Structure formats: structure tokens, C-alpha cells
């Protein structure tokens, strides 16, 4: 697949607004085809209405939720919004990790592998990185815009990667300029909007390759010896336990997803899915619980969601693993940062 990044002009955002409207129209049609008695008279119908509202609420254009007020009362919409903004947070244990590579008597490194998992509602790509010390967070070199994942991988001598944390986008131009939350890259604090003492939910990798997640301040992360960290969420698995409640599932709805975690054997596992009926007209996307179930198949003990939707991107050996749900001149969202694999 061609990943040419010679053009730098942003495509206007109005096509994305049309896409959001298309999603809303499709969801409403599906809802009414299900029948009003089912929708408003059964528990499953109620959950379907909540998931529909959550799908739009967690998109880049949550303001369109006002057109879905016939599905849920405002009090319930507010409940979903709060579940999305303030999910419960648990601290993962901090213990030494012994990787497969250190156990190998031959000294050979295992290669990065990507599995494809097809379901009725989404296609998932699961990247397994046996050596966690090769996974690094990298950031855009520009101060006013982000960079596509292809550039972030190439410029840092990487071989694979996924998108990382979110970014502020008040004008809706998808420039990826200003990251949200805590960002630490190679031990250097890149972003700390609330100072060094205020904890925020992060996914982080220690210098020894251990992946942790929890609510940490910059000072705490530095004391732990964190090499790379980025804010997003919600948490998916902590200390081997599923952290996704029904409220969190409903609040985030269906969408393209990106997530990162670590398996019992130390391997880093990265997952993306398609969705929002963007390329495959039958794929609505994955729920947070769907991602948990995928991680469980790979024996992941700690995992957290990264930025999804149009930002969801995975590349291995120069090949886009799924087409991102976005419209830019390079076919990928401009990102503030990304998790990439840099061989030793």
C-alpha cells in the first residue's frame, strides 16, 4: 500500500461532518427497523439506545448528540458523558517483567507478528511485540501540527506502530498539534497540563519494558523510572481483571479502536479495529468489551485504550493494516504521538 506523505495540505473537515451525519442516519434507521416496541419496551432495546448515543457522544463531534434526545432523557445522556469522562481507575502492580527474549538460549529475537481477526461488526488487527523494550512513544517534530504514523515510524527508524494519545482539536481540522494529558517521551516531559503533582490516567512503559497503567502524576512516574507515558483511556484490564463496566461500554459505544497492553510473558500487544461503517459498510466498530475479549485471548494482564475513531492506525513494515476512518491528503490522521517498535 502506498504511504506517500509528500503533500502536507489538510483536507477540509466538512467531509468528516458528513460522515458523522451518515453514521447517525444509519444508526437511526437500524434502530427504527428494530421496532419501537423492542426499543422502548425491552432491556436490550434500552441498551441499544444507550450504545447509539454513546457512539456519537464519544466521536469527534459530540455536539450532534442533541439530535438524539428522542432516544434517551438528558439525565441519562449526562450519566453516559460522566462515565466516559470519569471512569473508575485502578493502579496496576509494578513488578519486574521477564521477556521471552531474555529466556532464549539461542539469543535470537522473535519477530513482530500481526494477526487478523474478523467478526460480523469489525475487523481487528492484533500486533504482538515479543520484546517490550523495543516499544517506544515518539512525538511529532512540529509545534503546530502532528505527523502521520508513517512519518513517525520512518523518522525514528521503527518497523511498526500504532497511534497514541488524543489531542485538542477546537477548529476541527485534525492537525494533531496539541496533545491531551501527560506525555513523557524517553524520560522527557513533553506535556503536563496540570503541573507535575496532579495525577492523570496513563499507559506507560518503564525502562525495563514493563507496561503499567493507573492514575499517576509526573513526579510519581519519574520516581517509578517511567521511560514513556501518555494519557488516554479508559482502562481495559488491570492486574488481570476486566475494568470495563456496562456504563463504560454504553458511553463509548461502537467505533474504530486502538489499545495497548502487556501479556503475562512480557510481550506488548497492540490492537486496532475498523468501524463507523467507514470502509466496510457492515462494520459498526468494536465496544470496549470487545477489545477486552481480544486482549484476553493473548493473556494480557494490563491494558488501556488509546485514541480511537479517525486516529486509529496501525502500520507494520510500511503497510497500513487497516484503512483509517479519516480523510486527509496522506490517508491517515496527523498525530501528536505514537507507540512504535524500534529494533535494538
Task: Give the per-residue pLDDT at 12.
Answer: 41
CB 100 within 8 A of CB 306: no
CA 337 to chain CA centroid, Å, is: 12
The larger pLDDT score, comparing residue 112 to residue 2, is at: 112
Reported pTM: 0.89
The packing angle between helices 43-57 and 14-33, to 10°, is 180
How much of the chain exceeds pLDDT 90, in percent?
A: 72
Residues in CB range of 264: below 8 A, 6 or more apart: 299, 300, 301
In this structure, what DSSP letter does residue 156 have? T
Segment 3-14 shows an average pLDDT of 40
Q: Would the pLDDT of 208 be above 70? A: yes
The larger pLDDT score, comparing residue 317 to residue 6, is at: 317
The larger pLDDT score, comparing residue 18 to residue 344, is at: 344
Task: Give the per-residue pLDDT at 68.
Answer: 86
How sure is the predictor about 291, in pLDDT bands with cuts at 50, 70 and 90? very high
Q: In what order do the strands lie in the sheet with 123-129?
A: 113-118, 123-129, 268-273, 258-263, 300-305, 235-238, 241-242
Task: Give the per-residue pLDDT at 19.
Answer: 64
Segment 221-241 shows an average pLDDT of 97
Segment 46-61 shows an average pLDDT of 90
User: How far apart are alpha carbons 174 and 95 in whole angstroms?
Assistant: 38
How sure is the predictor about 282, in pLDDT bands with cuts at 50, 70 and 90? very high
Task: Give the per-residue pLDDT at 33.
Answer: 65
Task: Give the per-residue pLDDT at 36.
Answer: 75
Task: Give the per-residue pLDDT at 170.
Answer: 75
Q: How many CA atoms lie within 13 A of 217 on its CB side?
A: 8
Lowest mean pLDDT among 179-183, 309-313, 323-327: 323-327
Task: Give the per-residue pLDDT at 99.
Answer: 47
Residue-wise pLDDT for 58-116, tens only, equals 987 888 898 888 889 999 999 999 999 999 999 999 975 454 444 443 344 689 999 99
Q: Would the pLDDT of 34 be above 70? A: no
Q: How many CA atoms lie within 13 A of 224 on its CB side?
A: 27
247 burial level (CB within 10 Å; 0-12, 13-18, 19+): middle
Segment 214-238 shows an average pLDDT of 97
Q: Where are the domains of the chain?
A: 100-341
User: How far apart are alpha carbons 217 and 214 in whole angstroms?
Assistant: 10
User: How far apart are alpha carbons 344 and 331 in whole angstroms?
Assistant: 29
Task: Give the per-residue pLDDT at 8.
Answer: 37
Amino acid at each position: 500500500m502506498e504511504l506517500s506523505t509528500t503533500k502536507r495540505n489538510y483536507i477540509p473537515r466538512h467531509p468528516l461532518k458528513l460522515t458523522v451525519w451518515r453514521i447517525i442516519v444509519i444508526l437511526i434507521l437500524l434502530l427504527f427497523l428494530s421496532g419501537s416496541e423492542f426499543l422502548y419496551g425491552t432491556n436490550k432495546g434500552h441498551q441499544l439506545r444507550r450504545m447509539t448515543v454513546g457512539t456519537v457522544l464519544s466521536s469527534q463531534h459530540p455536539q450532534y448528540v442533541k439530535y438524539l434526545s428522542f432516544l434517551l432523557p438528558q439525565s441519562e445522556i449526562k450519566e453516559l458523558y460522566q462515565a466516559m469522562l470519569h471512569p473508575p481507575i485502578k493502579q496496576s502492580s509494578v513488578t519486574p517483567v521477564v521477556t521471552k527474549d531474555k529466556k532464549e538460549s539461542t539469543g535470537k529475537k522473535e519477530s513482530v507478528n500481526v494477526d487478523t481477526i474478523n467478526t460480523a461488526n469489525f475487523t481487528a488487527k492484533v500486533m504482538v511485540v515479543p520484546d517490550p523494550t523495543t516499544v517506544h512513544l515518539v512525538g511529532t517534530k512540529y509545534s503546530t501540527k502532528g505527523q502521520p504514523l508513517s512519518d513517525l515510524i520512518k523518522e525514528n527508524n521503527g518497523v511498526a506502530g500504532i497511534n497514541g494519545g488524543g489531542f485538542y482539536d477546537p477548529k476541527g481540522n485534525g492537525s494533531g498539534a496539541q496533545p491531551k494529558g501527560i506525555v513523557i517521551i524517553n524520560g522527557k516531559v513533553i506535556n503536563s497540563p496540570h503541573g507535575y503533582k496532579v495525577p492523570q490516567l496513563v499507559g506507560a512503559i518503564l525502562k525495563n519494558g514493563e507496561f503499567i497503567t493507573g492514575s499517576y502524576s509526573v513526579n510519581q512516574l519519574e520516581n517509578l523510572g517511567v521511560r514513556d507515558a501518555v494519557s488516554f483511556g479508559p482502562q481495559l484490564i488491570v492486574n488481570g481483571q476486566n475494568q470495563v463496566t456496562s456504563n463504560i461500554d454504553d458511553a463509548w459505544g461502537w467505533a474504530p479502536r486502538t489499545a495497548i497492553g502487556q501479556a503475562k510473558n512480557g510481550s506488548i500487544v497492540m490492537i486496532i479495529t475498523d468501524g463507523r461503517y467507514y470502509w466496510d459498510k457492515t462494520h459498526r466498530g468494536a465496544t470496549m468489551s470487545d477489545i477486552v475479549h481480544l486482549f484476553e485471548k493473548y493473556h494480557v494482564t494490563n491494558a488501556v485504550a488509546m485514541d480511537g475513531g479517525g486516529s486509529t492506525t496501525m502500520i507494520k513494515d510500511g503497510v497500513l493494516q487497516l484503512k483509517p476512518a479519516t480523510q486527509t491528503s496522506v490517508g491517515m490522521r496527523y498525530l501528536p504521538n505514537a507507540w512504535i517498535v524500534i529494533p535494538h
